[in-house]
Amino acid sequence: MKEQSLNIERRSATTTPSPGVRHTVEVAKLIDISKCIGCKACQAACMEWNDIRDKIGTCEGTYANPADLSAGSWTVMRYAEVETKDGRLEWLMRKDGCMHCADPGCLKSCPAPGAIVQHSNGIVNFQQENCTGCGYCITGCPFNIPRLSPDDHKAYKCTLCSDRIATGMEPACAKACPTGAIMFGSKKAMLHHAEGRITDLKERGYRQAGLYNPAGVGGTHVMYVLPHADTPELYSGLAKDPQLSTLVLFWKGIAKPLMGYSLGLAVLTGIFHYVTVGPNEADEDETEE
């Protein structure tokens, strides 16, 4: 990743202080669901820019393809057919992917030093070279976003195109979106833009229209304009009130110091084992997939 021009604010499992000389603008992607036509141009652009290709799958009875996020699909469109109380049908389409939380559960739960970082502009990034593949980020994510690759056993997700943003470009999905449903800019500008969109939606009869920028994770750097903001779960199960999981809080608060202690103990035990018994030999059959 080319990130020389992005400051790192936080790193997983690291206590070294972060650089603090430069101050960068907090950025955000705003996905206006009322403008989205579910065309998947964002998915195509994501594949192209990041040079990832998922498998050619099958039709499972919906328009969604690939059916879920994976190490090869960092964003997917999700489609939900919903009948409203007045009998109107709505086809709700939501671009799913990393929300880039201000208070990222993945980073907090990650035990591998520097495998997950948060840039000062708000982007949360995985540094796969430091990833141990433990999958704690998956447990820690309140949006069920990261995916382990079956090929290299490392976790992957949307980077918010940090490499593009570092050079002054917008994310690939925003660039490709034909209807302007994906906007990108400073978080402040996106909040302002969202206000106008919500006013318009309310005038069109969506009285519950609102912004999705959930406080439980400190706000997000990917936000949605939702016509039905009171029931985000209508949008293919978007979390109504996402919180850092109690597991994460437990890990950060109590388990981590304890773990540090037991890890030391384990190392000592290992040395003892090596000295007394000798190295472990891997069984050939076990290493083959």
Partner 1 sequence: MTNHWVDIKNADLILIMGGNAAEAHPCGFKWVTEAKAHRKAKLVVVDPRFTRSAAVADYYAPIRSGTDIAFLGGVINYLVTNDKILHEYVQAYTNATFLVNPDFNFAEGMFSGYDAETRSYDTATWSYQLGADGYAKIDETMQDPNCVMQLMKKHFSRYTPELVSRITGTPVEQFLTICEMIGSTAVPDRVMTSMYALGWTQHSVGSENIRCMAMIQLLLGNIGVAGGGINALRGHCNVQGITDMCLFGESLPGYMKLPTESDASFGDYLTRMTPKPLRPNQINYWSNYPKFFVSLMKAWYGEAATKDNNFGFDLLPKIKGPSDALAIFERMYQGEINGFFCQGYNPLAAVANKKKVSTALAKLKYLVVIDPLPTETSEFWKNHGVLNDVDPAAIQTEVFRLSSTLFAEEDGSYTNSGRVIQWLWKAVDGPGESKGDVEIVSRIYLKLREMYAKEGGAYPDPVLQLSWPYSIPEQPSSTELAREISGRALTGDGEQLSGFGQLKDDGSTACGNWLYCGMWSPAGNLAARRDNSDPSGLGQTLNWGFAWPANRRILYNRASCDVAGNPWDPSRMVIKWNGSKWVGNDIPDMRLNARPEEMVMPFIMHQEGVGRLFGLNKLKDGPFPEHYEPFESPLAKNLMHPDNPESKCNPAVRIFMGDLDSFGKPDKFPYVGTTYRLTEHYHFWTKHSRINAILQPEQFVEIGEELAKEKGLKDGDKVIVSSNRGHVKAVAVVTKRIKTMDVDGRKVHTVGIPIHWGFMGLAKNGYITNTLTPYVGDATAQTPEFKAFLVNIEKA
Asked if 61 is part of the footprint of partner 1 (rule: CB under 8 A), the reply reads: yes
Q: State which of positions 162-181 bind partner 1 (CB under 8 A).
A: 178-181
Q: Which of 14, 18, 65, 236 binds partner 1 (CB under 8 A)?
A: 65
Q: State which of positions 106-145 bind partner 1 (CB under 8 A).
A: none
Asked if 53 is part of the footprint of partner 1 (rule: CB under 8 A), the reply reads: yes
Pattern 242-271, partner 1, x by CB under 8 A? ------------------------------
Q: How far is the CB of 266 from partner 1 (least distance, A)?
A: 43
Q: Which of 4, 16, 58, 287 binds partner 1 (CB under 8 A)?
A: 58
Q: Which of 27, 29, 49, 54 binds partner 1 (CB under 8 A)?
A: 54
Q: Which of 2, 188, 192, 204 binds partner 1 (CB under 8 A)?
A: 204
Q: Rank residues 49 and 143 by Cβ distance to partner 1 and give the closer one.
A: 49
Q: For residue 66, say if its preceding peptide bond is cis, omega within 30 degrees of 0.
A: yes
Q: Rank residues 110 and 194 by Cβ distance to partner 1 and give the closer one.
A: 194
Stretch in the footprint of partner 1 (CB under 8 A) among 10-18, 51-59, 136-144, 250-258 = 51-59
Asked if 66 is part of the footprint of partner 1 (rule: CB under 8 A), the reply reads: yes
Q: Rank residues 124 and 226 by Cβ distance to partner 1 and give the closer one.
A: 226
Q: How far is the CB of 28 from partner 1 (least distance, A)?
A: 19
Q: Which of 6, 27, 29, 38 binds partner 1 (CB under 8 A)?
A: 38
Report CA-CA distances (Å) from 128 to 2, 146, 147, 200, 224: 14, 12, 12, 42, 28
DSSP for the chain reads ---TTS-EEEETT--SPPP-S-----EEEEEEGGG-----HHHHHHHHHHT---------SSS-SSSS-BTTBS-EEEEEEEE-TTS-EEEEEEEES---BSS-HHHHH--STTSEEEETTS-EEE-GGG-----HHHHH-TT---EE-TTT--EE---TTHHHHTTTPPPHHHHH-TTS-EEEEEHHHHHHHHHHHHHHHHHTT-TT-EEE--GGGT-BSEEEEETTTT-GGGTTS--SS----HHHHHIIIIIHHHHHHHHHHHHHHHHHHHHHT-PPPPPHHHH--
Chain contacts with partner 1 (rule: CB under 8 A): 34-41, 43-44, 47-48, 53-63, 65-66, 81, 83, 89-93, 178-181, 197, 200, 203-204
